[in-house]
Amino acid sequence: MTHYDIAIIGGGLGGVAAALAALRQGRRVFLSEQYDWIGGQLTSQAVPPDEHPWIERFGCTASYRKLRQDVRQFYRDHYPLRPEVAALPEFNPGNGFVSTLCHEPRVSLAVLERYLLPYMGSGRLTLAKPYRPVEVELTGKRIRSVRLQHLQTQQEIEVLADYFIDATELGDLPALAGLPFRTGAESRREFQEPSAPEVADPNDVQSISWCFIVDYDPHNSHVIDKPEQWERWRDYDPKLTPPWGSKMLSWSATHPITLDPVVRTFDPINPKPERGPMDLWTFRRIADKTNFTPGFYESDVVLVNWPQIDYLEENLIGADWAEQQRMLKDARQQSLCMLYWMQTEAPRPDGGKGWSGLRLRGDLTDGVDGLAMAPYIREARRIVGFETVTENHVGEDARKNSDAPHRSHRFADSVGVGAYRIDLHPSTAHKNYLDVGALPFQIPLGSLFGPACENLLAGCKNISTTHITNGCYRLHPVEWNIGEAAGLLAHHCLEQQLLPREVREKDDRVGQFQKFLIHCGVEIDWPELTPL
């Protein structure tokens, strides 16, 4: 049985960032992943990066910026970009609205795999996939080992390490170890958050989405077989509070911020990018055919990650494995029904119904039923850390009466930065959107670990936030920063022969670690900025 310096359970963006950070410091690392692709929300979940407006200049780690640059360079090296597009330092492959780097998931997968290959060749990285954790051995306040099971063969392996980083999508390790964690919504009384409910609800968890990719062929029909749950989802009324205002399968929904009813446009022939997020064809477009030599792409390529595929009916967290698989099948059926509705019944601008030429591009995702390989999971179990980030630390309105109303709370132990609105999707408690302004924020060291375990670090969206602030700490560059900080912290603790809590307990030790982070390209503070 091999003993590792650091074992990282979960190979999403946070897990990969943690592994790379530790490997670059000479550590021996184990990394597991539940799906065949590493990269999580950027690859197997197929979601192009949700990012803040300053991402091209500052507000992320140097390694995340290099990832973005390498994705663009991959296009320059391997795709027939028009010369004037290739010459743009910040070209956007899809010209989607959500990011200046909307791109195909296989491209970022290729870049991430290239990063890991040398360490696998040298034997310093063991990558195990597809494996999921099934048991944690806890001795006192330390995790001794994690047992993992192969998803197809049920073969089991046991992993021993000095430090464990939980980068699973649902925050599995605390539950398996019997350690404290939080799920769902805290009450307003607990942290005095103005947007929190009066009564706590552990099952009030953001919906998941099973995304998929389409293009458009005007000359042929690509209508899928009628999904087995078609009648269920065709007639589905989400019954949200405040009301959704329509059936789920429609172009209508509520505006995330105002909660007013809105009708989104969708037209693969004549898209309306000037409508921004209200135009679904360009909202998350990952390949704009005009960026490439004429004829290379017959159509734009579009990711469907829209509110109409938010699965609200059940909460994955806490369900056993078999129940989770049933829920995930239902989520896939909802997405397939949305596609079938788009192909057969969706109203068109010309008065007709359905776009039969919409083609499911499962070749770009390798997932079951032609969908993404993995569900897009927005919310996990959250560790109980030494520091919990609340709305009063980062909320734009919540800080209006603070000593620094135009800045988020400054954490003396900052290990990174991020920026995004507090964006909570409709939830399994059937609550509609919560979308409020947030100030550019920091990631406190004390949110990565807690008093219950000495060698477990959070490596993604499972840090010690609240349900409310999870809404702004869950996005791509923040998850990468969290994972990178966790990987560097584990290395630093091994090198200095300190526990994480001992690093945090003394200002000089925090300062030493922060200098190390800065040396490694981690930004720990923001300049003065205009609120988002």
Query: What percentage of the chain exceeds 90 in pLDDT?
Result: 95
Summarised one tens digit per residue, pLDDT across range 212-252 is 999 999 999 999 999 999 999 999 999 999 999 899 999 99
Q: What is the pLDDT of residue 276?
A: 84
- C-alpha of 503 from chain center: 28
State whether residue 387 is helix, strand or coil.
coil
Angle between helices 105-122 and 13-23 (to 10 degrees): 30
Alpha-carbon torsion 10, 16, 22, 27, what sign? positive
* Whole-Å CA distances, 519 to 59, 394, 496, 503: 16, 26, 17, 17
Q: Look up residue 494 and give its two tokens.
A: 């091994």
* pLDDT surpassing 60 at residue 105: yes
pLDDT in tens, 440-465: 999 999 999 999 999 999 999 999 99
**CA atoms within 13 Å, Cβ hemisphere of 101:** 28
Half-sphere exposure of 99 (CA within 13 A, CB side): 22
Residue 456: the pLDDT is 98
> For 107-151, what is each residue's pLDDT tens digit?
999 999 999 999 999 999 999 999 999 999 999 999 999 999 999
CATH class of 3-48+104-186+379-519: alpha beta
pLDDT band (50, 70, 90) for residue 529 = low
Alpha carbon of residue 251 to chain centroid: 25
pLDDT (0 to 100) of residue 212: 98
Query: Distance between CA atoms of 429 and 238, rounded to whole angstroms?
Result: 11
pLDDT of residue 512: 98
Angle CA 113–376–185, to nearest 5: 130
pLDDT band of 277, cuts 50, 70, 90: confident
| Residue 119 burial class via C-beta count within 10 angstroms: exposed 0-12, middle 13-18, buried 19 and up | buried
Domain residue ranges of the chain, discontinuous segments joined by +: 3-48+104-186+379-519, 208-264+306-370
Q: Which amino acid is at 241?
A: T
Among 213, 156, 198, 155, residue whose Cα is nearest residue 376 = 213
Verdict on whether the full-model pTM lies above 0.85 = yes
Q: Before 130, cis peptide (omega within 30)?
A: yes
Please say if the pLDDT value at position 161 is more than 80.
yes
**Could you tell me where the DSSP H helices lie in 371-473?**
391-394, 467-473
Position 528 confidence tier, pLDDT thresholds 50, 70, 90: confident
Asked whether residue 268 carries a pLDDT value surpassing 90, the answer given is yes
What is the spatial distance between Cα 181 and Cα 413, in angstroms, rounded to a whole number? 22
The H helix count followed by the E strand count for the chain is 14, 21
- Strands 382-383 and 181-182 turn out to be antiparallel
Q: What is the mean pLDDT of the chain?
A: 96
Which conformational region is residue 40 in: left (phi greater than 0), alpha (psi within -120 to 50 degrees), or beta? left
Give the residue from 186, 165, 43 showing the smallest Cα distance to 110.
43
Digit-coded pLDDT (tens) for 314-334: 999 999 999 999 999 999 999
- Are residues 233 and 344 in contact, defined by beta-carbon separation less than 8 angstroms? no
